[in-house]
Amino acid sequence: MVGRCTDPVHSLKEEKLSRNIKQKLTVITRLTVLGLAVVVVGMSGCGAFRQFDQSNRTLGDARLWEQGGRDALSHGHVDEAKICLRRAINNAPEDRRIREQLADICIKNGEYTEAIVELAQAVDLSSNDPELRVKLGNAYLSVGKLIPATREAELALKSNRQLATAWELCGRTHWARGELTEALADFQRALSIAPRLKGVQIQAAQIHRQMRQPKRALSGVEQLLSRYPVGQEPQDALLFRGVVLMDLEQYESAMEKLEVAASRKDATSETFVQLSRAQVLAGQPSLARSTLTRAVERYPAESKLASLLNELRKNDDDHVAAVGIQNR
């Protein structure tokens, strides 16, 4: 293979030019910083220079720690990411963005108490950003603190009545109190503002089912599923549709729909449980045993699956053996 030839003289010239450019950039940077420092000193004296130098260095450290946190998170090192972001906050305690990043990690990790602390401070630093208030309210709701969750939803709506996520939060707080009519009205208001707001339509459908309105529940979830290409529908919506079809005693249809859901890679153990239930209700317990056998093989750590399978196997009389699973 022929190597690439280089001119030694030309190479030395390039190296010298590169050094000159770097030196000039360094000088420019120093002059820029010095110029800013002179302005500060001229305004406030030498003490301000020291303060400027320290704050500039601290902010730079915060950015480095923040980037370190992002890099750690991108590699799946959650604990390391949290440590980096906490150090970033120590260097820039008034940066709401860093606090929000740390809170997001905590929420994803189920650490709501820490998330609430960071989000509460982020809200104060953001001059009461309504979207941050919604995030804080949802964190409160996740730990069952309905009063502060409701307060955050109301304050968010006070700032922005067209914020769909705030109406959703209102709906969730009403739902948690058992106030189904109010919750449904809030969800419908959220959907009127943002028709494709993720998760709201299925929550509304779940409330219709809870209110013993299965036809409305089915209509809502069917409308949601129609927005997705075949094979890309949300698994929870597919599962819910099957359950509602069983409520309507459409067992054959429920079996068909749930079998499609169970054949997907993202199928949960609950999908198999509900499929086996539909099969039992349709009078086909042998199919239910086969479904639960598949489920046990796929989710060996799920003890409830083995328990249900044994329940179906324990008696030769299929009807008697199926009684336990019908009402699940």
User: What distance in Å separates the CA atoms of residue 238 and residue 254, rounded to the nearest whole number?
Assistant: 10
Residue 91's pLDDT band, with cuts at 50, 70 and 90, is confident
More reliable by pLDDT, 30 or 280:
280
Structure tokens at 322: 């199926």
The 3-state DSSP class for residue 320 equals: helix
Q: Is 230 left (phi over 0), alpha (psi -120 to 50) or beta?
A: beta
- pLDDT for 146 equals 97
- pLDDT for 10 equals 42
Mean pLDDT is lowest, of 19-33, 59-73, 163-177, for: 19-33
* pTM (2 d.p.): 0.73
The 3-state DSSP class for residue 297 equals: helix
φ, ψ of residue 139 to 5 degrees: the values are -65, -45
- pLDDT for 24 equals 37
Residue 89 scores a pLDDT above 80: yes
Residue type, 198: K
User: What distance in Å separates the CA atoms of residue 142 and residue 144, rounded to the nearest whole number?
Assistant: 6
Residue 108 scores a pLDDT above 80: yes
Q: What is the DSSP letter of 191?
A: H
Residue pLDDT, tens place only, 198-240: 899 999 999 999 999 999 999 999 999 999 999 999 999 999 9
If one counts every other C-beta atom within 10 angstroms of the C-beta of residue 324, the result is 15
DSSP class per residue in 250-272? -HHHHHHHHHHHHTSTT--HHHH
Pick from 3-12, 23-32, 250-259, 309-318 the range whose average pLDDT is largest.
Answer: 250-259
User: What distance in Å separates the CA atoms of residue 299 and residue 286, rounded to the nearest whole number?
Assistant: 20
User: What distance in Å separates the CA atoms of residue 310 and residue 184, rounded to the nearest whole number?
Assistant: 40
What's the rounded mean pLDDT across residues 92-115? Answer: 92
